Structure 1
């Protein structure tokens, strides 16, 4: 359920916003066009929203500015504390993609950025099956995350990171559960979603799925 990575995010919380701004050269390509990525997720969202992996609240802030009702779900205490300071009106609950509290309203859109890769492919399938059960017809899932066209492309990205001596990035790509577009497409199609993909930078794709 991704909770094996909580300690990493507790330690990263204080410097996370600096990382997404591109100040860390190892992750500059991963977070390229970060503001545009968040803006596209917001643009594709409708109605009441749940955000999984709310982190420090960057996406939630933009959703609130556009008038959405937002519930944030976040397993990291350190991240939740920062989000609470930045966005005191935001409700942020302890939970993860699979294990989360009941929502206080009907959900029309589920969003997440830079987080779904913390689930194995089996867990991803479980999560999407759960969302399919409560999202209405035409309800949406809008995720932006690192994924690859194929396992070959993933291996190329790892090798390129090592060649640039970006060893932290290479370790992340090897340790975490970055998947491929064919695998993700099969998961969503299996659980009654139409899904499209748009590449946002060398690593991140925008996934937009609609419940059918």
Structure 2
């Protein structure tokens, strides 16, 4: 799951921080309000935090600044190396992904992620949420920031607009990866015992906040 995109993660490793700062025009809207997105996720995290898709460690850094205990999970070796350079070797960033990870890292009060959940198909997203529901205690939280869309039509329109602007790479990403809609995510989380809310930060990115009931 998601590991079919591992070569993309490795290509992005050295470019990611430049892209999130707005230097890549194609992805400028995707990463608009990036710092605010990280702050929002960190502010809503509690207790011991497990972060899926640590990447270069930008969210991890925010979480540590809030004096939270954090363990990162990241499948890409280059991304883990960059995260350790940024955070220090004493911060634990382990191999794994949304579905395959060391369950001894639990118990955790919060599961967080930014710009990564779309690497799972909708079926895999549901499998992940079922697993998290078993591992989290009542009141445990999932706070994921990711690209998602209000409807399938708005998703299709976004691809058309990207092509019209000449944003070929963005359009290819949207067509290749497993972006989904808010109604699908709402159904997945609510049917597995979570109360969920969504907050929009730009045309692409919403933060979902789900609490185990």
| TM interval, short-chain normalised | over 0.9
TM-score, normalising length from structure 2?
A: 0.98
Alignment of 1:1-212 (within 5 A): 1-88=1-88, 89-212=90-213
Please list every run of at least 4 consecutive aligned residues from structure 1 whose deviation after the TM superposition is greater than 4 angstroms: none
1:105 Cα offset (Å): 4.6
Which one is further off, 168-177 or 85-94? Answer: 85-94
State how far apart, in whole Å, the 2-side matches of 1:25 and 1:103 are: 41
Q: Would you say how many aligned residue pairs link Structure 1 and Structure 2?
A: 212
Equivalent residue of 1:14, what SS?
coil
The separation in 2 between residues aligned to 1:173 and 1:104, in whole angstroms, is 32
Per the alignment, in what secondary structure is the counterpart of residue 159 of structure 1? helix
d(CA) in 2 for partners of 1:80, 1:164:
34
Contact 2:106 2:135 in 1 (8 A): no
Q: Counterparts of 2:150 and 2:41 in 1: how far apart (Å)?
A: 21
**CA deviation map 1:115-142 (0-9, x unaligned):** 0000000000000000000101010000
Structure 1: state its 5+ residue gaps: none
Across the aligned residues of Structure 1 and Structure 2, the Cα RMSD in angstroms comes to: 0.7
- Distance, in Å, in 2 between the alignment partners of 1:105 and 1:162 is 43
Mind listing any 5+ residue stretches in structure 2 that lack a counterpart?
none
Q: Per-residue deviation at 1:106?
A: 1.6
C-alpha separation between the residues in 1 aligned to 2:105 and 2:26? 40
Whole-angstrom distance in 2 between the partners of 1:181 and 1:50: 23
CA shift in 2, pair 1:104/1:122, >3 Å: closer
| TM score, norm. by length of structure 1 | 0.99
Contact residue 148 and residue 204 of structure 2 kept, 8 A: yes
